Amino acid sequence: MTPEALTEYLHRNIPLSAALQAQVLAFDNESLEITAPLTPNLNHRGTGFGGSLATLAILGGWALLNQALQNQGLNARIVVQRSDCEFFEPATADFTAVTTLSAPTWARFLVMLAKRGRARITVDTQIRADGRFVVSHHGTFVAIADLYS
C-alpha cells in the first residue's frame, strides 16, 4: 500500500484522521511518518491542540501496527490500551509524528499473537514541529486475531 492509499484508508475508516487532515508520508515495517497541518488543529492560544497531537501519535501507532500485520498476512483488530504523552513545548507549525517499532519487540509480539490469539505491544512516537521536538508518546496497543476474516 502506498502512503496515499494508507491515508485514504485512514480517512475512510477513522474519520477523525480526515478532520485532522492527517497525511501518511512514509512507512515500512519498522516506522511510520504521518503529518498534520497546524491550522485545523489550533487551540485557543494559536498553537497545536494537545488532543490533536496525542491523536496523531495514536493514529501513527495504530497505522504502523495495522500495516505491519497486513504485511505479515495477518488480520487482527487493534485497539489502543494505554496512551502516555509528554508535551515539551508548543507546536507552532505543522507537525509530524514518527512512530517506531523495534524488531525484538515485534518478534515477541508476533509469537504471542500466534500462541494466544492476542498480544500487547508498546510503540514510541516522537512529534516534531518546525524541526523542534515537541511531544513524546508511548502507546500500548492490543491486537486480537481475527479468526473470521
- 108, three cell numbers: 515477541
If you ran DSSP here, which 8-state letter would residue 39 be given?
A: G
Domain boundaries, the chain: 3-145
Helix (H, G, I), strand (E, B) or coil at 47: coil
Query: Distance between alpha carbon 20 and the CA centroid of its chain, in Å?
Result: 13
- How distant, in Å, are the alpha carbons of 1, 19, 45, 46 from that of 76? 17, 25, 40, 39
E-assigned strands of 75-131?
76-87, 95-100, 118-129
CATH topology of domain 3-145: Thiol Ester Dehydrase; Chain A (3.10.129)
The per-residue pLDDT for range 77-121, each reduced to its tens digit, is 999 999 999 999 999 999 999 999 999 999 999 999 999 999 999
- How distant, in Å, are the alpha carbons of 31, 46, 64, 90 from that of 67? 10, 34, 5, 30
pTM of the predicted protein model:
0.94
The per-residue pLDDT for range 71-81, each reduced to its tens digit, is 989 999 999 99
Distance separating alpha carbons of residues 65 and 59, to the nearest angstrom: 10
